[in-house]
C-alpha cells in the first residue's frame, strides 16, 4: 500500500489545474502562482509518485498514459474532498448525525428528554442517544458530545456553558407532615426522619439563609432512607418516608400539584449552577449548539 505521508496532496490541485488550463502559464494565472512555482510543484509531484505525468514541449503540453489515468483519479479525489467539506459545513449549519448526551437521571427524565424530543422534531436528520446516570461520566472515553452537570464543576479541561441556576428545596409529603408536624424553624429539622442523596457533598448537612441575611446550619440526625439516585429519593419522599433536599426542577410539579409540600419557604438553600459540558474544540458542532440553546430556553 502506498504511504500517503510521502505524497503532498496539495500538488494534485496544481496538476489538475495544469491539465484543465492546458499549460503551466495558464495554470499559474488560475492559481495565482508564479509559473516557476507551478513547474516546481509538477516536478516534485512526479518525483513523489515516481511516474512521469506530462510531456513538455515548446508548443503544447500533453499527458503521458499514466498522466491521463492519474488526472481522472485526481479529479475524482478532489471532487470527493469538496463533497466531504460541503457535508461537514452543512452539518455545522443544520444539525445532523448522532447527538450523544449524558445527564443525571432526574434531569434527563424531567427536563432533557422533552427538549431532545423537540429537537428531533425540529431537525429530522438528527439522531439522539441519551445516557442517564447519577455517576460522573468520562466524555472522551464514552464518546459523549455533551453532558449536563449539576452543581460545582471540576477542573476537567472541558468547555462549559451555564444553562440555568440550580435551586434546591426542602420538601415532604402531606402524609409525612400530618404524622410528624410541620417544622416552623430550622431548629425543628434535625430530629425529623430524613431522606439523603448520597452522591452530593455532605448529604446530611446544609445551611439555610433568611431574607434578613441571617443563616442557620442544619445537621440532619435521623436519616431513614438514602440512595445514590435522585429519582429514588424523590419516590421515597412521595411515599411519605421523610424530609428531602431536592432540586427545584425535580419536585416543582409535585409541589404545584400538592403531592409534596415545600417547607420553610422563607429560608433558602445556597444556589448553584446547571452546566452543559463538552469537549474543547475550535468549532462547536451545531448539534451541540442547538441543544444548549434549547436547554437555556426550557429553563427560563
Q: In terms of domains, do 78 and 57 share one?
A: yes
Nearest to 262 by CA among 284, 245, 278: 245
Distance from C-alpha of 294 to C-alpha of 289, rounded to nearest angstrom: 9
The number of distinct structural domains making up the chain is: 3
Distance from C-alpha of 4 to C-alpha of 17, rounded to nearest angstrom: 21
Distance from C-alpha of 100 to C-alpha of 139, rounded to nearest angstrom: 10
**Is the pTM higher than 0.75?**
no
Q: Please, how many CA atoms are within 13 Å of residue 54, restricted to the half-sphere of its CB?
A: 23
C-alpha cell at 78: 478532489
Domain boundary, last residue among 49, 76, 92: 92
- What percentage of residues in the chain have a pLDDT greater than 90? 52
Domain boundary, last residue among 62, 92, 122: 92
C-alpha distances in angstroms, 98 versus 31, 125, 148? 38, 9, 17
Q: In terms of domains, do 55 and 199 share one?
A: no
- 234-264 per-position pLDDT tens digit: 999 999 999 999 999 999 999 999 999 999 9
Burial 189-207 (b: 16+ CB within 10 A, else e): beebbbbbbebeeebbebe
User: Which residue has 448520597 as its cell numbers?
Assistant: 198
- 8-41 per-position pLDDT tens digit: 778 888 888 888 888 888 888 888 888 889 889 8
Distance from C-alpha of 38 to C-alpha of 19, rounded to nearest angstrom: 12
Domain boundary, last residue among 38, 72, 92: 92
- Residue 74 structural domain: 4-92
C-beta atoms surrounding 94 within 10 Å? 13
Q: What is the CATH number of the domain that holds 75?
A: 1.10.10.10
Supply the DSSP string of 196-245, one letter for each residue: EETTSSSTTEEEEEETTS-EEEEE---EEEEES-HHHHHHHHHTT--EEE
Instruction: Tell me the pLDDT band of 58, cut-offs 50, 70 and 90.
Output: low
Distance from C-alpha of 232 to C-alpha of 106, rounded to nearest angstrom: 9
Q: What is the CATH number of the domain that holds 281?
A: 3.40.190.10
Q: In what order do the strands lie in the sheet with 243-247?
A: 223-227, 194-197, 243-247, 168-172, 261-262
Amino acid at each position: 500500500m502506498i504511504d500517503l505521508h510521502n505524497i503532498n496532496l496539495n500538488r494534485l490541485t496544481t496538476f489538475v489545474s495544469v491539465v484543465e488550463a492546458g499549460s503551466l502559464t495558464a495554470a499559474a494565472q488560475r492559481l495565482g502562482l508564479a509559473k516557476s512555482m507551478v513547474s516546481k510543484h509538477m516536478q516534485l509531484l512526479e518525483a513523489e509518485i515516481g511516474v512521469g505525468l506530462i510531456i513538455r514541449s515548446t508548443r503544447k503540453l500533453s499527458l503521458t498514459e499514466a498522466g491521463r489515468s492519474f488526472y481522472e483519479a485526481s479529479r475524482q479525489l478532489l471532487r470527493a474532498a469538496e463533497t466531504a467539506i460541503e457535508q461537514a459545513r452543512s452539518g455545522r449549519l443544520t444539525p445532523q448525525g448522532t447527538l450523544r448526551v449524558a445527564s443525571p437521571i432526574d434531569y434527563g427524565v424531567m427536563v432533557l428528554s422533552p427538549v431532545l424530543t423537540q429537537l428531533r422534531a425540529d431537525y429530522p436528520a438528527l439522531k439522539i442517544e441519551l445516557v442517564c446516570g447519577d455517576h460522573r461520566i468520562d466524555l472522551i472515553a464514552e464518546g459523549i458530545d455533551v453532558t449536563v452537570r449539576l452543581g460545582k464543576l471540576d477542573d476537567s479541561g472541558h468547555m462549559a456553558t451555564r444553562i440555568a441556576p440550580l435551586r434546591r428545596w426542602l420538601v415532604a409529603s402531606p402524609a409525612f407532615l400530618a404524622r410528624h408536624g410541620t417544622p416552623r424553624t430550622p431548629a425543628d429539622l434535625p430530629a425529623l426522619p430524613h431522606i439523603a442523596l448520597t452522591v452530593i457533598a455532605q448529604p446530611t448537612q446544609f445551611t439555610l439563609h433568611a431574607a434578613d441575611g441571617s443563616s442557620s446550619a442544619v445537621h440532619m440526625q435521623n436519616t431513614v432512607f438514602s440512595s445514590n439516585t435522585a429519582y429514588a429519593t424523590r419516590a421515597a419522599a412521595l411515599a411519605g418516608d421523610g424530609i428531602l433536599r431536592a432540586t427545584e426542577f425535580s419536585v416543582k410539579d409535585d409541589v404545584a400539584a400538592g403531592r409534596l409540600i415545600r417547607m420553610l419557604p422563607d429560608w433558602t438553600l445556597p444556589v448553584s449552577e446547571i452546566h452543559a459540558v463538552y469537549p474543547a474544540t475550535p468549532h462547536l458542532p451545531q448539534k451541540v449548539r442547538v441543544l444548549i440553546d434549547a436547554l437555556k430556553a426550557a429553563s427560563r
